[in-house]
């Protein structure tokens, strides 16, 4: 049940959104109710969120939305802070009582659905469609229109010290510079991604430097306002990685953990739901059932020598991401396109594409691959 005061606050927020199409900021709520401080306004928002009337996105200034179907306060039927009650037995799915009410209470991002997919044709996009562009992504992306890309699939350089062509820094930057430069490109990516668009980034931390790149890149993307959708473990089964690098051999002083997998962090913009026409879905039932389990065993790319690129991902990885997270005819971007795996698979699967890379040699390979038969 709402108190009289809470009801007044909820009415104000509801009417504000109806009138303006966006939510009031905390400052506006404070001013409207002549509150002594912003923290009182924050408190009111938190209470309404807890009671299941609002959803609050932490990273947005106007990130409040109304839960339309909240006729009863979940507080009427669900009292928080009682011990979790669930039935659990090995081999069975764990059943949580009042799961939906608890989800609402926690205020996650699952039900955010306040964005409208941009359907109108976007100006100045033609020159980017079905192209391989050689240049710095930061610059190329800055020329692209807002909200124009359906899905980004990419793998940035990992700062491991690999020999990329046209890289005078030898893939070795100070970590602070590396992350700052990535962030500038992410900013553009987020801007040009459509609401509902997906962002799949393949990253491998440099464990020997103890730099958790996958967590730090995820933090950057969350701070830029994207919603975390999930994480895929790409199991490469490459157990031949240096077995002699033990850290401290047979001693707890500094053992070095080894990994035969990489990560794909998946994000989306503003809402988890991506609309599209049923006729443009190309994933089969078997593929769907298999691939929604977030651990994918796929062998590393075997053609790196042939394509003269030191860090490619395999076509199978891109094909799964495209079929699971996008529709046919969607516009696919890879801002670190390398030898063109993303663009080649996008073309093969009837998506439109744009691949950008700094190295002219890789761009030539990417263009050549567009004419090859894949899989």
Ligand X SMILES: C[S@@+](CC[C@H](N)C(=O)[O-])C[C@H]1O[C@@H](n2cnc3c(N)ncnc32)[C@H](O)[C@@H]1O
> Considering the rule CB under 6 A, would residue 311 count as an interface residue with ligand X?
yes
> Considering the rule CB under 6 A, would residue 336 count as an interface residue with ligand X?
yes
- Within the chain, what is the greatest distance between any pair of CA atoms? 71
> Considering the rule CB under 6 A, would residue 159 count as an interface residue with ligand X?
no
**Which residue among 199, 296, 313, 325 contacts ligand X (CB under 6 A)?**
313
Q: Which stretch binds ligand X (CB under 6 A): 17-25, 74-82, 133-141, 187-195?
A: 133-141
> Considering the rule CB under 6 A, would residue 151 count as an interface residue with ligand X?
no
Neighbours of 163 (CB within 10 A): 9
Looking at residues 338 to 357 of the shown chain, list those that interact with ligand X (rule: CB under 6 A).
338-339, 341, 356-357
Those residues whose C-beta lies under 8 Å from the C-beta of residue 176, and which sit 6 or more positions away, are none
Local structure of 29: helix, strand or coil: helix
**Closer to ligand X by Cβ: residue 10 or 339:** 339
| Least gap, CB of 259 to ligand X (angstroms) | 17
In angstroms, the CA 269 to CA 214 distance is 19
Cβ atoms of 259 and 203 closer than 8 Å? no
Chain residue whose CB lies nearest ligand X: 338
**Which residue among 51, 309, 351, 369 contacts ligand X (CB under 6 A)?**
309
| Least gap, CB of 357 to ligand X (angstroms) | 4
Q: Which stretch binds ligand X (CB under 6 A): 82-90, 188-196, 220-228, 304-312?
A: 304-312
Gap between the terminal Cα atoms of the chain: 58
> Considering the rule CB under 6 A, would residue 359 count as an interface residue with ligand X?
yes
Structure tokens at 102: 């608890």
- Look-up of token digits 């953990």: 257
Listed as own residue / partner, the contacts of 123-127 with beta carbons closer than 8 Å and 24 or more positions apart are 125/331
Neighbours of 28 (CB within 10 A): 16
Looking at residues 4 to 63 of the shown chain, list those that interact with ligand X (rule: CB under 6 A).
none
Residue ranges binding ligand X (CB under 6 A): 136-138, 155-157, 164, 309, 311-313, 336, 338-339, 341, 356-359, 362
């Amino acid at each position: 049940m709402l108190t009289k005061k809470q009801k007044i606050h909820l009415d104000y927020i509801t009417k504000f959104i109806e009138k303006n199409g966006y939510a009031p900021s905390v400052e506006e709520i404070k001013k409207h109710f002549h509150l002594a401080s912003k923290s009182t306004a924050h408190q009111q928002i938190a209470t309404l969120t807890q009671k299941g009337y609002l959803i609050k996105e932490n990273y947005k200034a106007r990130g409040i939305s109304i839960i339309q179907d909240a006729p009863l306060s979940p507080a009427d039927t669900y009292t928080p802070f009682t011990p979790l009650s669930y039935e659990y037995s090995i081999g069975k799915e764990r059943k949580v009582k009042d799961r939906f009410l608890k989800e609402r209470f926690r205020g996650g991002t699952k039900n955010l659905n306040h964005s409208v997919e941009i359907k109108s044709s976007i100006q100045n996009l033609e020159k980017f469609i079905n192209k391989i562009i050689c240049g710095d992504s930061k610059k190329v992306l800055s020329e692209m229109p807002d909200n124009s890309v359906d899905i980004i699939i990419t793998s940035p350089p990992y700062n491991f010290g690999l020999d990329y062509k046209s890289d005078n820094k030898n893939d070795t930057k100070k970590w602070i510079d590396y992350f700052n430069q990535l962030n500038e490109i992410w900013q553009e990516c987020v801007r040009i991604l459509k609401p509902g668009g997906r962002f799949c980034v393949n990253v491998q931390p440099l464990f020997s430097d103890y730099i958790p790149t996958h967590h730090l890149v995820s933090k950057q993307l969350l701070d830029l306002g994207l919603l975390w959708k999930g994480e895929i473990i790409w199991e490469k089964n490459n157990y031949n990685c240096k077995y002699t690098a033990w850290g401290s051999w047979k001693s707890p002083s500094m053992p070095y953990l080894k990994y035969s997998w990489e990560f794909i962090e998946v994000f989306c913009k503003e809402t988890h739901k991506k609309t599209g026409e049923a006729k443009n879905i190309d994933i089969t039932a078997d593929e769907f059932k298999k691939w929604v389990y977030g651990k994918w065993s796929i062998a590393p790319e075997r053609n790196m020598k042939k394509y003269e690129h030191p860090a490619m991902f395999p076509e199978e990885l891109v094909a799964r991401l495209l079929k699971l997270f996008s529709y046919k005819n969607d516009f696919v971007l890879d801002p670190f396109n390398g030898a063109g795996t993303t663009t080649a698979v996008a073309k093969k699967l009837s998506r439109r594409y744009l691949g950008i890379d700094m190295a002219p040699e890789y761009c030539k390979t990417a263009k050549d691959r567009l004419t090859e038969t894949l899989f």
